[in-house]
Chains A and B, each alone.
Chain A
Amino acid sequence: MNSKPILEIEKEIIEDFALFDSWEDKYEYIIDLGKKLAPLEEQYKIDENKIKGCQSTVWLRADYIDGLIVFKADSDAVIVKGLISMLIKVLSGHTPEEILAAKMDFIGEIGMMTHLAQTRSNGLLAMIKQMKNYALAYQAIGARKDTV
């Protein structure tokens, strides 16, 4: 699981992006991340895992393992896949509380704010919201287990 705190992972991504001096380098990196994202098994590419509000199709699955949430995702658009790969890198393997508390400021820092603003076509905001929704749901499940 992910032992690094969310803020530290965010900092690493910001540092990575600081090395790029052109938009081409930045996007080639994101496209590469998209291509390398671990595939989501076909049986999970179902309607209930689809994120609404994206121009491309995005599937997101979350498993709750030993108190930590593990995200898996896929998309038919590679840039979106690269963006969600970064979100997974930051949020996956953390507790629901950590995920809910994450401010995700790195998105602005790496100049991807336009993706966040264009919620209808890019859906980055919809993805983060869905990840946080999973965290909220699993937090409730975890809390129930504690009381049993």
Chain B
Amino acid sequence: MEGADSLSLNTSRTLSDWLALRQQFPILSREVKGKPLVYFDNAATSQKPQVVIDALSHYYSYYNANIHRGIHTLAEEATMAYEATRDAVRDFVGAAEREEIIFTRGTTEAINLVAYTWGRKHISEGDEILISGMEHHSNIVPWQILCAEKGALLKVVPVEDDGSLSMSAFHELLSERTKLVSIVQVSNALGTVNPVKEIIDAAHRAGAKVLVDGAQSAVHLDIDVQDMDCDFFAFSGHKVYGPTGVGALYGKRELLESMPVFQGGGEMIKEVSFEGTTYADLPYKYEAGTPNIADTIALKAALDFISGIGKAQIRAHEDELLAYATAELKAIPGLKIIGEAAQKVSLVSFVVEGIHPQDIGVLLDNMGIAVRTGHHCTQPLMKRFGIPGTVRASFALYNEKTEIDVLIAALHKTIKMLT
């Protein structure tokens, strides 16, 4: 953490500070197809700083052990490091208690956990689950499965032309039949930031619980689950500069305590006999089997890295990149930005008239630029905009304006080659 700590000043960072931060990400110095890598696929997964890579390597080379039950030194060290991440996640999302943090494989598993436990218990025939038209498939399919099983109804809040959520439609669709609102805080395809506080307040007044999908928001926005008052919050480690395969579910204690268990196995039990089994207390009740120890431990390094810089500083830098990229992209003839909501994170989705997004992606890759093309796992949203997909450039704290210049020049070349 030396690098990040030495940079955690209260004053604004200078360009050289940002460059120093960038140097902590070893992958960013590699070349792709003979050109310096420009990595703009951060909404899919972010790159990892050296501290995260070191934490992984240190765990495996120094104190690898199974956690919680061993009494030897290695097991104790591994358990302490693993549980230290739980505290870091609690701080990261602003939870009141560490027991409210359940480790999962990521956002998808966290949402499924809620669907399979809370959902199985509380959703019944005729109930309604409210989602939005900009949900990732991960926040659609688990509810479709649950609704089909229970005879419940999945209702969808439509998206406006500018990519914002129709709040008037939301208030109309919300009723006493609504048992759950599951909403994405930041759209992965459009960048839209949804007014989750307003949604949560209204949902609670209607007697519904709220799950916030924080897969995209956790890296960009300050998260405070107590202030938000959401019932569940899910996010993925690999999108917050941490390792793949680890994420977390936050849930209010009373909910987590009353929910049935998810998977059965080791770790999640208190006592097992063939006559019956009693389950462990929170949070272990939902963490069956040997968890992903190494990645969970390294996740703390990523969260510390972020807090060492400060989310406000990161946001300011990313907003600057977003404004610059938006202006530069708009100047390209035939290019249309999809998603221009007033509140956005640093992500631009666009289409170019007469050109398939995939063609753009293939040629940009030949110039060392990594963007995402396609439907971004939001097929209903693409259908709503009448497009097969978009090209998406998403920015992280280590990106620079000069990289956007490279993208713009490459896009001009790409369009010329394709038309």
Which A residues form the contact surface with B (CB < 8 A)?
Answer: 23-24, 27-28, 31, 55-57, 76-80, 121-122
Contacts and interface: CB of A to CB of B under 8 A. Distances in A.
B356 A78 contact: yes
Given A24-B417, A55-B374, A79 B388 contact: no
Contact of A27 (B355, B356, B358, B417): B417
B67 to A, nearest CB: 36
Interface in B342-392: 355-356, 358-359, 361-363, 366, 373-374, 388-389
15 contacts: A27-B363, A27-B366, A28-B417, A31-B418, A55-B358, A55-B373, A56-B358, A56-B388, A76-B356, A77-B358, A79-B359, A79-B363, A80-B358, A121-B358, A121-B374
Contacts of A121: 358, 361, 373-374
B147 to A, nearest CB: 26
A79 B358 CA distance: 8
Given A55-B358, A76-B388, A122-B358, 18 more contacts: A24-B417, A27-B362, A27-B417, A31-B359, A31-B418, A55-B374, A55-B389, A56-B356, A57-B388, A77-B358, A78-B356, A78-B359, A78-B418, A79-B358, A79-B363, A80-B356, A80-B358, A121-B358
A77 B356 contact: yes
A23 B366 contact: yes
B33 interface: yes
Contacts of A57: 388
Interface string B376-419: 00000000000011000000000000000000000000000110
A23 B33 contact: yes
Nearest to A82: B359
A133 B119 CA distance: 43
How many of chain B's residues touch chain A, expressed as a range?
Answer: 10 to 19
Centre residue among A31, A76, A78 by max chain B CB count within 10 A: A78
A121 B362 CA distance: 10
A68 to B, nearest CB: 31
A126 B171 CA distance: 45
Contacts of B389: 55
A112 to B, nearest CB: 11
Contacts of B358: 55-56, 77, 79-80, 121-122
Interface in B12-33: 33
A119 to B, nearest CB: 13
A121 B356 CA distance: 13
A76 B356 CA distance: 7
Nearest to B414: A27
A77 B359 contact: yes
A57 B374 CA distance: 11
Nearest to B365: A114
Contacts of B359: 31, 77-80
Contacts of A80: 356, 358-359
Contacts of A55: 358, 373-374, 389
B417 A31 contact: yes
A77 B359 CA distance: 6
A57 B373 CA distance: 14
A55 B356 CA distance: 10
Nearest to B355: A78
Contacts of A122: 358, 362
B404 to A, nearest CB: 22
Contacts of A27: 362-363, 366, 417
B376 to A, nearest CB: 11
A57 B356 CA distance: 10
A80 B362 CA distance: 10
A25 B361 CA distance: 17
Contacts of A23: 33, 366
Contacts of A31: 359, 417-418
A24 B355 CA distance: 17
B45 to A, nearest CB: 16
A23 B389 CA distance: 25
Given A55-B373, A56-B356, A79 B362 contact: yes
B179 to A, nearest CB: 36
B409 to A, nearest CB: 14
Nearest to B356: A77
Contacts of B418: 31, 78
A48 to B, nearest CB: 19
Contacts of B374: 55, 121
Contacts of B33: 23
